[in-house]
Amino acid sequence: MNHIILIGFMGAGKTTIGSALSNQLGMEFIDTDNRIEELEQMTIMDIFEKKGEQYFRQLETNVLKELFHDESQYIISVGGGLPMEKENQELLKQLGTCIYLKATIETLCNRLQCDTKRPLLQGEDVRRKIETLMEKRQGTYEAISQYSIITDKCSKEAVVESIVEQVRNIRKKIGDL
Ligand code: S3P
């Protein structure tokens, strides 16, 4: 399949860039977290609290699987933990081109310090939590992406332009876009 999939840590800008990319390319945008909240009629915070993280992770896999029944091409932004599941890595590979959006720990800390919507970052010492999770995840993000770009050093427009160009290079058949 030919979707463009944005992966990366919480706060890296997946939703912002995804939505700008969607406007630029005229492709519909899907955010897995939003999709899950709509389906469950609950916030991510509530899902984690009332049903647990494992339940949430299963929902993430279900959302990916549903995309195989859909003919459209989407820009898809996935939750920061989704690529960590082995099964999801296989699904992502089949779904399209993965772009890894990177940001420095400093930027992530600034953006996420006072966050109240991400269950894994609540409580004390947010920086430590970010560093620990990033250490576990970075290798996977790198391994499954065809292209990575640092989002906190240039404008949103420049990031979008660069992604479009890279996707063109990665797929020779950009007529689709
Ligand atoms: C998570 C990232 C969040 C959301 C959930 C868990 C994670 O999405 O899926 O809070 O494990 O990194 P964003 O990456 O869009 O913030």
pLDDT, tens only, 41-98: 999 999 999 999 999 999 999 999 999 999 899 999 999 999 999 999 999 999 999 9
| Whole-number pLDDT of residue 174 | 45
Q: CA 51 → CA 42, 45, 47, 57, 82, distances in Å?
A: 11, 10, 5, 11, 17
Give the helix ranges, DSSP H, for the chain: 14-25, 32-40, 44-51, 53-66, 86-95, 105-112, 126-144, 156-170
- Ligand 1 binding pocket includes 167 (Cβ within 6 Å): no
2 CA → ligand 1 middle, Å: 23
Please tell me what DSSP assigns to residue 146: S
- Ligand 1 binding pocket includes 60 (Cβ within 6 Å): no
Give the helix ranges, DSSP H, for 67-104: 86-95
Q: Is the pLDDT of residue 172 over 80?
A: no
Single-letter amino acid code for the residue at 140: T
Asked if residue 16 lies in contact with residue 156, where contact means CB atoms within 8 angstroms, the answer is: yes
CA 91 to chain centre: 14
